[in-house]
């Protein structure tokens, strides 16, 4: 399976279990690895035969900036479902970073990574 990767998509969202996270919001970072067969697109040089990563990026940004959820696990699942809605995408790996998570000890990043496949 071929891969199309988007790394470091930064979007402000209002996700989290604490009221200050919902009120103030924070930056979330999303990485995507889309699994698909790109051979038909490569042979025909036709965008319609692959996934348009610009469209995917806009859809993911709309999810992150949209309806708040408590858990980044839920956010990752919503993103995965949207990516799998593209006909060419057979598998997706989604990593949601929450670099400003409310943790009381020093840390670099908090992430959740999920992999989902088309049934």
37, 18, 30, 17: which is closest to 118 by C-alpha?
37
DSSP string covering the chain: -EEEEEEEEEEEE--SSSHHHHHH-EEEEEEEEEEE--HHHHHHT-GGGS--HHHHHHHHHHHHHSS--S-HHHHHHHHHHHHHTSTT--EEEEEEE-TT---SS--S--EEEEEEE--
Question: Is 1 a residue of the active site?
Answer: no
Catalytic residue among 68, 98, 99, 114: 98
Active site residues: 98
């Amino acid at each position: 399976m071929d891969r199309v990767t988007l790394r470091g998509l930064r979007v402000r969202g209002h996700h989290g279990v604490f009221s200050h996270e919902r009120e103030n919001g924070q930056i979330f970072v999303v990485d995507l690895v889309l699994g698909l067969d790109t051979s038909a697109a490569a042979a025909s040089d036709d965008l319609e035969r692959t996934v348009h990563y610009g469209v995917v990026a806009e859809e993911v940004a709309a999810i992150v900036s949209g309806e708040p959820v408590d858990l980044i696990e839920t956010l990752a699942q919503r993103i995965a479902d949207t990516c799998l809605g593209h006909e060419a995408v057979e598998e997706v790996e989604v990593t949601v970073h929450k670099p400003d998570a409310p943790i009381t000890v020093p840390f670099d990043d908090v992430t959740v990574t999920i992999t989902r496949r088309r049934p």
